[in-house]
Structure 1
Amino acid sequence: MERKTIDLDQGWDYMQKGIMKLKRILEGLPETPFSSEEYMMLYTTIYNMCTQKPPHDYSQQLYDKYKEAFEEYITSTVLPSLREKHDEFMLRELVKRWANHKVMVRWLSHFFHYLDRYFIARRSLPPLNEVGLTCFRDLVYIELKDNAKDAIITLIDKEREGEQIDRSLLKNVLDIYVEIGMGQMDNYEQDFEAHLLRETGPYYSRKASNWIQEDTCLDYMLKSKECVEKERDRVSHYLHSSSKPKLVEKVQRELLVVFVTELFENENSGCRALLKDDKVEDLSLWCRLYHEIPNGLKPVANVFKQHITAEGTVLVQQAEDAAMNHAGHAVQEQVLIRKIIELHDKYTEYVTNYFLNHTLFHKALKEAFDIFCNKTVGGSSSSELLATFCDNILKKGGGDKMGDEAIEETLEKVVKLLAYISDKDLFAEFYRKKLARRLLFDRSANDDHERSILTKLKQQCGGQFTVKMERMVTDLTLARENQTSFVEYLSNNSNANPGIDLSVTVLTTGFWPSYKSSDLNLPLEMVKCVEVFKGFYETKTKHRKLTWIYSLGQCNVNGKFGQKTIELIVSTYQAATLLLFNSPDRLSYSEVMSQLNLTHDDLVRLLHSLSCAKYKILIKEPNTKTISQNDYFEFNSKFSDRMRRIKIPLPPVDERKKIVEDVDKDRRYAIDAAIVRIMKSRKVLDRQQLVSECVEQLSRMFKPDIKAIKKRMEDLISRDYLERDKENPNTFRYLA
């Protein structure tokens, strides 16, 4: 059956009835809801009018009338209702009208849905939903946007001043600015946000100008924090989320950036004053406020660095003054290290707990400690002071007042301080020297602590840093096993009897510090000991040569002074000297020298310790405080002491100079190796870049001198490792 053709006017009259019913519903007038039959009839009417054969296909006309329906409703009803209201009432009406308009768009889009599916798609026309929203934008939004914007900003200003406002109303109005852009934020940003930001600046500028005059820095910052938080709160409740960074930045600028100098330099409550008074909670607030501002923490970090540097420099100067006055020099140096550790603990806690663990403050802390941790005190480098501090803790009696946990914790902190020391190789050499004395003379309090700090040093500085030290500890373990074997050897070989109790420590050359070995003429008693041990050692290995370091030896000698016997704890050299006086009792300086085969310097130290120091085992003629080559020495048979066992120390030798010389020699090798390593991989390099890369590689262990690097480059050229480019003398080539 052929479908009856619907005329345009006839069909539109029917549609108008449906549209009128929809308008009445929107206006809140008495009206029954649309039934499914009504909805289908309206949809079918449009469908039929669009699918009739030309010239009765009214798709274009219906598309136009769809738009006209909105325009007519807006012009006749919506705009008059909005124009008669103002301020907050106008905003409420606008929200209501926008909600109604969206409902109308949704219903009419359903009625006219066939147009969307076919006609609009084929003609590439704006879809029905967009047409409906565009009508509201062009007729309502454009006329009222400025009034609405002013009303919104007025309400925001009231809220900033502490008044209660209807936040949900603002949220709904601002949603119109967003939704009217149909996916674009231009309307929201240009018609509202830009104006809000423009008003916000002067508002907070006025506030800041008053507060900075009246309040302390802390009160000012607390108010600033509250303002920033409230603006964030506004965004979360009714502004669009995209406004948050812009609005917060505007507030931060007016409150914190503009007045940063005044806040910083305030004599009583500025940043410097807070640091000086240890007001960490206030400093923490400062950091939380400024860390979101680009480069906002940089000035705070700079002041932090200056403050730590000043405090550390004062500590160093106090120790230096004590050293100049010879007031407990060694004690003051150890106190200095403890104070520096306390200082590091204090400001590390600041950075971690109060300064957001921010890298800028870690950097400031490091740079500050780099400055004063590398100063010398009383002629001692920081490397030596740190090594001595470790020695005092680790040797017997040094850490007795500290528990195991406290010692471990202190060692951990010392290793952290080492990170700031530029001459780590010098520390390693001083530490190795002191470790050797602890191990060789049984002065180490606890093997576990010795191994523990080596593990910490290895983690901090790498395996190469501790390899020799670790082998030293291992050597001592092997030496003890070796001594046990030697005792067994003596018990099993009745012919091999040294005549005296003998303990020998066998060490591996290369791992231990270099010690002076001399051709000391040993007494017969000691010669026999050496021969017996050699015989034992040859049973274990024939491929190793023993070199005897008599300077490290220690002897227990019984001295008979009249009716009393006193046990003397002396060095091998001292023992050999004393044994000369068994017969005859009196010897000249030159006789002692020829019989012992020692240098003048060594002999002066020996004879001084035995005749001029606390325990005068020998009587010197003439009776002066210094040793000369014309002196005579005689056994003091009348010597007495209330102790039955005394230790006679040798005058201390300042080993600092030799250690520094050894380190300098090692540095030359390290620089050579770095230059060759770099050139081997790069083949050709200019002078400046080679020096730069060399410094970068070596700075982990020591701060290389540029002149020293250039000198080593010249040396490598003379040894045919490098050559200069013939055309450019500042360019070097590697010679394979």
Structure 2
Amino acid sequence: MSAAKKYKPMDTTELHENTENIAACLKKAESAAALMMGRSAFAAQNMNSASTNGERLPNFSKLGSSHGEIRSASTTSNLLNRTGAIHNSKPGDVKKIVIKNFKDKPTLPDNYSEDTYVKLEEAVIAIQLSKPIKYSLEELYQAVVNMCSHKMDAQLYTKLKELTEQHVKRNIKLKELTGGSMDKLVLLEKINNWWLSFCQQMIMIRSIFLYMDRTYVLQNSFIHSIWDMGLDLFRIHFAQNSVVQKRTVDGLLALIEKERQGASVDRGLLKSLVRMLCDLQIYSSSFEEKFLDATNQLYKAESQRMMQDLEVPGYLQHVSMRLAEEHERLLHYLDSSTKHPLIYNVEKELLAEHLTAILQKGLDSLLEDNRWVELTLLYSLLSRVKNGTSELCGNFNGYIKKKGRTIVIDPEKDKSMVQDLLEFKDKMDYIVRNCFARNEKFTNSLREAFEFFINQRANKPAELIAKYVDMKLRSGNKGTTDEELEKTLDKIMVLFRFIHGKDVFEAFYKKDLAKRLLVGKSASVDSEKSMLSKLKQECGGGFTSKLEGMFKDMELSRDINTAFRGHALSNNRDVHNLDLCVSILTMGYWPTYAPTEVTMPPQLINPQQIFNKFYLEKHSGRKLQWQPTLGNCMLRAQFEGGSKELLVSLFQALVLLLFNDKTVLNYEEILAATMIEDGELRRTLQSLACGRARVITKTPKGREIEDGDQFDFNNEFTNKLFRIKINQIQMKETNEEQKATEERVFQDRQYQIDAAIVRIMKMRKTLSHNLLITELFNQLTFPVKPADLKKRIESLIDRDYMERDKDNQNQYNYVA
């Protein structure tokens, strides 16, 4: 800029033609010279703008003006000459301008450093005391730049640190902070105001000394930045003054405890002071440990009191609320590093310490009362603590076993056992699925518990499940769609999997299936085959082979009956207009029925003989054994009110046909005429005289059939239906049938045990008693006691299938 002033009056005609090019070159030269001298644009702007009375501020980086002006003039002259050369150069030629630094370094005026120190010290003290600053910030900033540029930055940093430390010491020793009479809240507010003011002061001071912070501090890694230096001094003197630090921490703890008790507090104040402790790096040592101890003591006492005063649902709600509050505190003012220990301590005192008491006191009632929301909350809370879900799973397992055992063991609940089990299983599945988040551990525990208690009562659950399936698959099961029936069968199969004695289920299912097929009481062939496929999928083809054979027999019987009708028509056989339908059963597939001999009326004997001859002609070598137990008939009866069709069992038909000859018969006469077994006859007469459709009457009145009772044909019988079913008695199971089925299962099991023993001994040849028992337990599919196995071993020894070793009585040898 000085060069431009000196050469302003020159005759510019000496320049080659265009003076505008010269001015442009001068302007570039000035800018380049300013940059090479190390003057920042910021400093130049400050010098130009911070003038007083129209005069520029002194620029101490351009001392020795005479030399500078000569140098600049010479440089400018060279530039002017070279400009002409540029003008005369050919188009496309490029010339570079070279600008050189001063040969002599600029120096500061005398006493400049002392005056600057005083000026900067006054400014820092004014900032610390919140007073106006005499000098402009630009002037102070430039002073720091000049001091640092002339290697006085170390002394300047030391001086600034001394001023800051004096300020901190002066404030930390104020009586209002160290005195004990001040209210805790007022004290916290004063400390917070002091801290915020100190931070604002350090920001202002740093803006003035920014050049030193970015040069001297960065060049010396062992020196703190101005901001860190201020925090370090604050931390040192705040930590050394135990009174102020203790009162601050105690005040914070008291304020937090007040908030925990439900009072409203200034969270902004808490956040600011907690942030102060974090910035000073004394949060963990001075505050966090005491805060966690206070938290433990508070919740330990509170949990003991609440466990006594509240029921489990209310206590769980309280724990959930407390955890939410602590999360909110973490969000608003506590440091994130406190999250894990704080939540852990709260969960430990409120949940882990009372885990057993919570489960013993409230789990059963929550499960009994269907408290889905509370169960979900219980699971979510206990999953937070160590072993929480394991303890919950164990108690859940215990509840299922205890509740399930009450359903299975009590004989009075046999009628509703299976339905109760299905409902109980649905309920437990819902809890595991919706309340326990489908936790696999709970799913497995549920299965194990059901399998345990359902086998506590040997054989009976299997029998009742088979009878429940029979009830569902029987015709007349109204109000159930095919889809609902299929779902019910799927649920029954779940219970079936838990049963150990599946052979018991098979025996009773086979007996009931035979009745449904022979009496025509099956609701749907599709449903029957669906159940059969489920059993086959679950237990294999060997389990259902006989059941499948029963269906094949029914299909063959239909073909045989069709052929018999054609045979009777073609041969003009007299069957008395009787529609005879015979079921041909393969003995190995069907349940074993005891041979029964009854006196058949002539109108039934003739068709039976005709069919017998027809079948044996087609199948020579076979033997037919007639089984009247499950036969049924359609009779047409005439009453005063009109004719009716009666669907009855064969035994009922034999009794009713007697009343064609006599209107009054006593018990002994009926017994002699039909030859029906005494117990069966009493049941038959009871169904005809004491049931809903009383086509005969009994004298004397009463439910039981006694010897000498008289029976009359009820000519006054009325019913709104034309076709009346009276043969439901056939579907009812008698005690004799039940005992026979159980005995058959017992015999089958003995045969299976014998076969397993022989199979094992034949393979091993020699085996000790304990190893043989172990092998048998592994191979047998039904529950058995060691004493029963020992009896079968003794039986096989008696029958010479095996023998005891002569030298070792505890060892067996196979006898070939």
Matches within 5 A, 1:170-569: 202=293, 205-206=296-297, 208-213=299-304, 216-221=315-320, 223-224=322-323, 256-264=351-359, 270-291=362-383, 295-312=387-404, 323=412, 334-370=415-451, 373=454, 381-398=460-477, 400-495=478-573, 499-538=577-616, 540-558=618-636, 567-569=645-647
Aligned partners of 1:224 and 1:256 also within 8 Å: no
Q: Give the counterpart letter for 1:642 in structure 2.
A: T
> 1:717, 1:535 → 2: CA distance?
49
Higher mean C-alpha displacement, 516-525 vs 611-620: 611-620
In the aligned structure 2, how far is the partner of 1:431 from the partner of 1:482? 26
Cα distance in 2, alignment partners of residues 519 and 365 from structure 1: 52
* Whole-angstrom CA distance in 2 between matches of 1:525 and 1:725: 67
Amino acid at match of 2:296: S
Query: SS in structure 2 opposite 1:297?
Result: helix
Contact residue 303 and residue 349 of structure 2 kept, 8 A: no
Mapped contact 1:211–1:220 kept (Cα < 8 A): no
Which residue in the other structure is 1:659 paired with? 741
- 1:171–1:486 CA distance, 2 compared to 1 (3 A): farther
Using a 3 Å threshold, how does the CA distance of structure 1 residues 274 and 592 change in structure 2: closer, same or farther? closer
Q: What whole-Å deviation, never above 9, does each CA across 1:493-520 have from its counterpart, x for those lacking one?
A: 3347575221111222222211222243
Q: Can you list the C-alpha shifts for 1:21-70, whole angstroms capped at 9, x where unaligned? A: xxxxxxxxxxxxxxxxxxxxxxxxxxxxxxxxxxxxxxxxxxxxxxxxxx
Deviation at 1:348, TM superposition (A): 0.9
* Alpha carbons of structure 1 residues 520 and 226: separation in structure 2 relative to 1, 3 Å: same
Q: Deviations over 1:397-430 (max 9, x none)?
A: 22x1122222222222222223344433223222
What does the per-residue CA deviation read over 1:677-735, in whole Å, with 9 as the maximum and x for residues that have no partner? 4445555544344334433443x5x3223322221122223334443344443344445
Deviation at 1:350, TM superposition (A): 0.8
- Alignment CA distance shift 1:314-1:672 (3 Å): closer
Structure 2 vs 1, CA of residues 575 and 726 (structure 1 numbering), >3 Å: closer, same or farther? same
* C-alpha distance 447-299 of structure 1, shift in aligned 2 (>3 A): same
Partner in structure 1 of residue 792 of structure 2: 712
Q: Identify which range, 551-560 or 711-720, moves more after superposition.
A: 551-560
- 1:111-130 alignment, distance < 5 Å: none
Aligned mates of 1:272, 1:495 — CA distance in 2: 73
2:629 is matched by which residue type in structure 1? S
3-state SS in 2 of match to 1:536:
helix
- Quick one: distance in 1 between partners of 2:498 and 2:325? 40
Does structure 2 retain, via aligned residues, the 8 Å contact 1:559–1:567?
yes
Which amino acid in the other structure matches residue 668 of structure 1? Q
Shift of 1:367: 5.0
Q: Distance in 2 between matches of 1:287 and 1:302?
A: 13
Match of 2:753 among 671, 691, 704: 671
SS at match of 1:384: helix
**Corresponding residue for 1:642?**
718
In structure 2, distance between residues paired with 1:612 and 1:337: 30
Tell me the secondary structure at the aligned position of residue 792 of structure 2: helix
Render the CA deviation track for 1:225-284: whole Å, top value 9, x for unaligned: 8869999999x9889xxx98x99978765664334245445x5xx444543443333333
Structure 2 equivalent of residue 124 of structure 1:
none
* Amino acid corresponding to residue 399 of structure 2 in structure 1: H
Percentage of identical aligned residues: 31
Cα distance in 1 for partners of 2:526, 2:286 equals 71
Q: How far apart are residue 220 of structure 1 and its match? A: 1.9
Distance 2:588 2:571 in 1: 33
CA contact (8 A) 2:769 2:811 kept: yes
Q: Report the Cα offset of residue 663 of structure 1.
A: 1.3
Q: CA–CA distance in 1 between the matches of 2:523 and 2:380?
A: 47
- Are the structure 2 counterparts of residues 222 and 453 from structure 1 closer, same or farther at C-alpha, using a change threshold of 3 Å? farther
Q: How many Å separate the matches in 2 of 1:197 and 1:682?
A: 72
Decide whether the 8 Å contact of 2:300 with 2:349 is kept in 1. no
Q: Which amino acid aligns with 1:457?
A: L
Distance 1:238 1:198, change over 3 A: closer
- The answer to whether the 8 Å contact 1:225/1:289 transfers is no
Deviation for aligned residue 1:207? 5.2
The Cα shift of 1:209 comes to: 1.4
Counterpart contact for 1:687–1:732, Cα < 8 Å: yes
Q: How does 1:618-629 map to 2 (within 5 A)?
A: 626=705, 628=707
> Could you tell me how far apart the structure 2 residues matched to 1:381 and 1:309 are?
17
CA separation in 2, counterparts of 1:229 and 1:481? Answer: 81
1:299 CA displacement = 2.6
User: Which consecutive unaligned segments of at least 5 residues does structure 1 have?
Assistant: 1-77, 90-99, 106-131, 133-146, 175-191, 324-331
Q: How does 1:76-155 map to 2 (within 5 A)?
A: none
Conserved in 1, the CA contact under 8 Å of 2:646 and 2:723? yes
Deviation at 1:666, TM superposition (A): 1.5
TM-score by length of 2: 0.56
Alpha-carbon distance between aligned partners in 2 of 1:169 and 1:526, rounded to the nearest angstrom: 109
Q: C-alpha displacement at 1:173, in angstroms?
A: 13
Residue 649 of structure 2 corresponds to which residue in structure 1? 571
Alpha-carbon contact 2:422-2:492 (below 8 Å) kept: yes
Q: Which residue identity does 1:394 align to in structure 2?
A: L
**Residue 729 in 1 paired to residue 809 in 2?**
yes
Q: Cα deviation per residue 1:70-104 (whole Å; 9 max; x = unaligned)?
A: xxxxxxxx9xx999999999xxxxxxxxxx9xx99
Counterpart residue type for residue 260 of structure 1:
L
State the structure with more CA Rg: 2
Any idea what the Cα deviations from partners look like across 1:368-404, whole Å, max 9, x if unmatched?
Answer: 445664577xx99333332332222221222x11222
Paired residue secondary structure (1:258)? helix
How many angstroms apart in 1 are the aligned matches of 2:346 and 2:641? 95
- The answer (yes or no) to whether the contact 1:167–1:237 under 8 Å persists in 2 is no
Q: 1:197 to 1:429 in 2, by over 3 A?
A: farther
Q: Find the residue that maps to 1:723 and give its secondary structure.
A: strand
Distance 1:703 1:495, change over 3 A: same
In the TM superposition, residue 585 of structure 1 has moved relative to its aligned partner by 8.5
Q: How far does residue 460 in structure 1 lie from its aligned partner after superposition?
A: 3.8
Task: Please tell me whether the aligned partners of residues 569 and 646 of structure 1 are also in contact (alpha carbons under 8 angstroms).
Answer: yes
Q: In structure 2, how many angstroms separate the alpha carbons of the residues matched to 1:263 and 1:584?
A: 77
Candidates 769, 772, 776, aligned match of 1:690:
772
Q: Post-superposition shift, 1:345?
A: 0.9
Contact 2:641 2:716 survives alignment (8 Å)? no
1:536-581: CA deviations, max 9, x gaps? 3345433543222111112234456799765544433444455567
Question: Residue 555 of structure 1 aligns to a residue in which SS?
Answer: strand
- The amino acid of 1:687's aligned partner reads H
